[in-house]
């Protein structure tokens, strides 16, 4: 493999390494925690259908655009816009991405901390005692309302992330996820089989796959659009940054389609695990961010070897979350290393600490501190500081970032340059290139603007 221009910045060690790292970034709590709760809150099947359309029509084109920009520029998001459009205001878009990555990391690591607690709980047998939905909800509430534990676990998770990102693009993590992620998927499939064979499970499948179009409101579309971007790690420059560590002989279209495919499979199978079990246990689908944490423990004790299963599941979920937090911190760190001349060591610790500071109010906002728990109302429900962070950065900021990236590639840097970059990894005969150009220049921007405007005007 030829060394990339920016070899001093580090580079991926192998061809498969990049796809694994990108898939590792994409697959995480977004699939297992966020997708089910968003689908549950937004009416199920109709949301899922719009989500799938967003993955195909917006996710894949935007991922290609991020890959092209990142690999051409070989820089962090801010540096990339500056390199491809010198002297223009476009780097501000990269700056929005870095800020968004930082803010997502701050609430994501709180939820990731919960998975560590659940790992501990399953190892100590808490989930094998015939847990009812009410018991399970009480266990969850007990955890999230405990300030010491919520903050401590967030800190542990951030430290794990820092230790890995500190070493640079990490071969060890790539290699480990080659085995761990297929194993995670296998476990999910087993759980899905158990879930669909529970009494009353059929209603969950209906909920997930029967689309009731009367429920498609601008808010549902906005949720699905944001979820597609969040789940694929798009709209803030994570994929852009990963592609910046690539040599020119990587086939970008193959990578984009594979990552989108695997990510979507994990989300759908995750949905098939959660919803049948949810209906079987009589939990409310619109239960919000605690959904999977309440539902999943109710099925482990209905499996032979439940403890082992639960331990393996939460361990792998934590690893999946870790490969995502690594990509979030990497974006922030690459900016301070490339643009500000900081050492990687300084960047990981300073930014990691700053992120922890922002994570504390999220960690405290689920029952520990009342003022943070019911901070705002949207969608007819009181929401916490964590929910608000998730909405603002996980939905809106990513959507605006993706919109601006499309405009940049479509109209400023140019789709001709981008196509040249996309073709230069063996994809000479790029099928649907014309359609991609239409998406990036017109269809995606118009779609995002329409959804944003209809949200502003109210639904």
Closest contact distance (angstroms) between CB of 250 and ligand PHE is: 19
Q: Which of 4, 17, 24, 30 binds ligand PHE (CB under 6 A)?
A: 30
**304 exposed, middle or buried (CB, 10 Å; 0-12, 13-18, 19+)?**
exposed
Q: Which stretch binds ligand PHE (CB under 6 A): 69-77, 215-223, 323-331, 352-360?
A: 323-331
Partners of 378 in the β-ladder: 381
* Cβ-based neighbour number of residue 197 at 10 Å: 11
Angle between helix 60-73 and helix 252-281 axes, rounded to 10 deg: 140
Q: Which of 19, 24, 25, 113 binds ligand PHE (CB under 6 A)?
A: 25
First to last CA, the chain: 52
CB-wise, 35 or 81, nearer to ligand PHE? 35
Closest by CA to 407, choosing from 459, 364, 447, is: 447
CB-wise, 97 or 367, nearer to ligand PHE? 97
Q: Which stretch binds ligand PHE (CB under 6 A): 146-154, 251-259, 320-328, 445-453?
A: 320-328
Give CA torsion, residues 321, 323, 324, 329, to 10 deg: 120
Note whether 324 binds ligand PHE by CB under 6 A.
yes
Note whether 122 binds ligand PHE by CB under 6 A.
no
Binding mask 269-308 for ligand PHE (x = CB under 6 A): ----------------------------------------
CB-wise, 384 or 397, nearer to ligand PHE? 397
Residues in the chain: 459
Please answer whether residues 25 and 239 qualify as being in contact, where contact means their C-beta atoms are separated by less than 8 angstroms.
yes
Closest contact distance (angstroms) between CB of 65 and ligand PHE is: 15
Q: Which residues from 237-276 bind ligand PHE, rule CB under 6 A?
A: 238
Please answer whether residues 22 and 259 qualify as being in contact, where contact means their C-beta atoms are separated by less than 8 angstroms.
yes
Note whether 29 binds ligand PHE by CB under 6 A.
yes
Closest contact distance (angstroms) between CB of 32 and ligand PHE is: 8
Closest contact distance (angstroms) between CB of 133 and ligand PHE is: 25
Note whether 373 binds ligand PHE by CB under 6 A.
no
User: What's the CA gap between 260 and 155, in Å, rounded?
Assistant: 30
* Residue nearest ligand PHE by beta-carbon distance: 30
Any alpha helices (H) in 282-395, and if so which ranges? 291-295, 297-300, 306-338, 344-363, 370-373, 385-389
Note whether 328 binds ligand PHE by CB under 6 A.
yes
Q: Which stretch binds ligand PHE (CB under 6 A): 23-31, 149-157, 245-253, 308-316?
A: 23-31
User: What's the CA gap between 96 and 255, in Å, rounded?
Assistant: 25
Closest contact distance (angstroms) between CB of 191 and ligand PHE is: 18
Note whether 91 binds ligand PHE by CB under 6 A.
no
Q: Which of 231, 362, 365, 389 binds ligand PHE (CB under 6 A)?
A: 231
- Measured in whole angstroms, the distance separating CA 246 from the mean position of its chain's CA atoms is 21
Partners of 377 in the β-ladder: 382
Closest contact distance (angstroms) between CB of 331 and ligand PHE is: 8
Q: Which of 207, 230, 313, 335 binds ligand PHE (CB under 6 A)?
A: 230
Cα distances from 375 to residues 381, 387, 393, in angstroms, run 10, 9, 16
Closest contact distance (angstroms) between CB of 101 and ligand PHE is: 6
Closest contact distance (angstroms) between CB of 5 and ligand PHE is: 25
Note whether 236 binds ligand PHE by CB under 6 A.
yes
Closest by CA to 93, choosing from 109, 118, 69, 127, is: 69
CB-wise, 128 or 395, nearer to ligand PHE? 395
Q: Which of 104, 311, 403, 437 binds ligand PHE (CB under 6 A)?
A: 104
How would DSSP label each residue in 404-442? HHHHIIIIIIIHHHHHHHHHTTS--S-TTHHHHHHIIII
Note whether 26 binds ligand PHE by CB under 6 A.
yes
Cα distances from 182 to residues 177, 186, 189, in angstroms, run 8, 6, 11
CB-wise, 198 or 267, nearer to ligand PHE? 267
Note whether 28 binds ligand PHE by CB under 6 A.
yes
Q: Which residues from 351-370 bind ligand PHE, rule CB under 6 A?
A: none
Q: Which stretch binds ligand PHE (CB under 6 A): 29-37, 48-56, 294-302, 425-433?
A: 29-37
Please answer whether residues 188 and 273 qualify as being in contact, where contact means their C-beta atoms are separated by less than 8 angstroms.
yes
Please state whether beta strands 376-378 and 381-383 pair in parallel, antiparallel, or not at all (unpaired).
antiparallel
Note whether 31 binds ligand PHE by CB under 6 A.
yes
Closest by CA to 288, choosing from 37, 66, 107, 32, is: 37
Q: Which of 122, 128, 327, 399 binds ligand PHE (CB under 6 A)?
A: 327
The residues of the shown chain that bind ligand PHE, judged by CB under 6 A, are 25-26, 28-31, 104, 230-231, 233, 236, 238, 324, 327-328
């Amino acid at each position: 493999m030829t060394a990339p221009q920016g070899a001093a910045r580090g580079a991926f060690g192998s061809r498969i390494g990049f796809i694994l790292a990108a898939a590792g970034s994409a697959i995480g709590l977004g699939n297992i925690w966020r997708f089910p709760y968003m689908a549950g809150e937004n009416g199920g099947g109709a949301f899922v259908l719009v989500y799938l359309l967003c993955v195909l029509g917006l996710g894949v084109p935007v991922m290609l655009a991020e890959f092209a920009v990142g690999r051409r520029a070989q820089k962090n998001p801010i540096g990339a816009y500056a390199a491809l459009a010198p002297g223009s205001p476009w780097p501000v878009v990269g700056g929005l991405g870095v800020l968004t990555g930082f803010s997502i990391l701050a609430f994501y690591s709180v939820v990731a901390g919960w998975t560590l607690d659940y790992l501990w709980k399953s190892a100590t047998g808490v989930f094998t005692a015939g847990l009812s939905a009410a018991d399970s909800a009480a266990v969850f509430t007990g955890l999230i309302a405990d300030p010491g534990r919520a903050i401590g676990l967030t800190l542990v998770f951030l430290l794990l992330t820092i230790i890995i990102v500190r070493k640079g693009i990490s071969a060890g993590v790539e290699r480990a996820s080659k085995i761990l992620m297929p194993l995670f998927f296998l476990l999910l499939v087993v759980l899905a089989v158990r879930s669909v064979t529970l009494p009353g499970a059929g209603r969950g499948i209906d909920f997930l796959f029967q689309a009731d179009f009367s429920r498609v409101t601008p808010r549902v579309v906005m949720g699905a659009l944001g979820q597609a971007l969040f789940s694929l790690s798009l709209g803030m420059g994570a994929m852009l940054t990963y592609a910046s560590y690539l040599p020119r002989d990587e086939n970008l279209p193959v990578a984009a389609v594979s990552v989108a495919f695997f990510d979507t499979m994990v989300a759908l199978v995750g949905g098939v695990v959660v919803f049948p079990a949810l209906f079987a246990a009589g939990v409310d689908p619109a239960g919000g961010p605690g959904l999977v944490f309440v539902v999943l423990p109710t099925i482990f004790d209905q499996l032979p070897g439940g403890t082992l299963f639960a331990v393996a599941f939460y361990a792998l979920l934590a690893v999946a979350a870790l490969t995502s937090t690594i990509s979030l911190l990497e974006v922030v760190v690459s900016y301070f290393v490339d643009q500000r001349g900081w050492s990687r060591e300084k960047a990981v610790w300073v930014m990691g600490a700053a992120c922890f500071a922002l994570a504390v109010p999220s960690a405290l906002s689920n029952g520990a501190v009342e003022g943070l728990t019911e901070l705002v109302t949207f969608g007819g429900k009181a929401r916490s500081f964590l929910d608000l962070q998730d909405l603002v950065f996980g939905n809106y900021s990513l959507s605006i970032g993706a919109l601006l990236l499309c405009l940049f590639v479509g109209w400023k840097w140019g789709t001709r340059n981008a196509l040249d970059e996309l073709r230069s990894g063996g994809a000479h005969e790029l099928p649907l290139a014309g359609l991609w150009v239409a998406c990036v220049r017109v269809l995606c921007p118009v779609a995002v603007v329409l959804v944003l405007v209809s949200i502003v005007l109210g639904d």
